[in-house]
Amino acid sequence: MSALLFKAVSQGLPFSIGVKVEDFSRFRPEDVSDTDHLVGKPMSAVEAPFAYTAQGALRAYYLSRVNNIIRRPHARILIGMGGPVAWLGRKWGGMELVAQFMGGPSPDVYLHRRGYIDSDDEHPMFLYTDEMTPQEIDVLFGCIRSDSERDRSLYPSKDILDDGCFFWTGEWDTRMDNMFDELTKQILQGSAKFRTPGMWNDYFRRLNRGHRGTRERLNQVVPNMLARLHSKIIDGFPVDWNKRRLADIKLPEEYRPS
């Protein structure tokens, strides 16, 4: 199971591991620091907007804001959020952040009972997970808010990728790595550009040169036979892990990491 979950992390698939209050002691270390006892994620604190204005200091400003967020205990949940959010978590938090996520919830959860709880779900189990605020996510993307069409960012969000990126499939791959590595390089060199959703679509179109058609067109020409085959495969493996205990999850076949 651990190998499969690590594979999900490397592919940028979103998932979270919730914990009930009665199980908090299983994740709480024997020695809890005084800082963790006293300091939790402030309930009423709102992250200051990403508001870069000083010309020539983008790298320093962006890295200072991101490093401040990555050091927070609840930042480990970035790894489970999937897609570009998870990539940014891995990029700036490294394997240490991945290890923290795989090791269980942060002190924000097991000491201060802060984060997300599924109490509003139709069938709540009162599971706690760490949680990031939208403002914290904005900082990671270097997003300057204006309105939905004029927001500018240093990285494209999942919504922007869904809307216009031809080679975005929902899973992380080499091409996504290459694009985000290049965007990061530009930030570190001080040459990065803030782009609106429309500008990101233009950026994707330039990257898409050499590919025929669009995702919608490719979906139209996929034979119906393949769609039926996919449906039969899904029907043959009715796996639903939502709110299942990890110990109770049975794989339909042995998982062998490639």
Residues of the chain with pLDDT under 50: 210, 212-223
Q: Tell me, yes or no, whether 75 lies in a domain.
A: yes
pLDDT of residue 246: 65
User: Which residues face 19 on adjacent strands?
Assistant: 128
Q: Tell me, yes or no, whether 200 lies in a domain.
A: yes
pLDDT of residue 199: 95
Please state the domain count of the chain: 1
pLDDT of residue 218: 43
Q: Tell me, yes or no, whether 245 lies in a domain.
A: no
pLDDT of residue 67: 96
Q: Tell me, yes or no, whether 248 lies in a domain.
A: no
pLDDT of residue 214: 46
Q: Tell me, yes or no, whether 66 lies in a domain.
A: yes
Q: Tell me, yes or no, whether 257 lies in a domain.
A: no
Q: Tell me, yes or no, whether 246 lies in a domain.
A: no
pLDDT of residue 160: 95
pLDDT of residue 227: 58
Q: Tell me, yes or no, whether 76 lies in a domain.
A: yes
Alpha carbon distance 28, 66 (integer Å): 26
Own/partner contacts of 116-120, CB < 8 Å, gap of 24 or more, are 118/18, 118/243
Q: Tens of pLDDT along 60-73? A: 999 999 999 999 98
Which domain, by its residues, includes 53?
A: 2-216
pLDDT of residue 34: 60
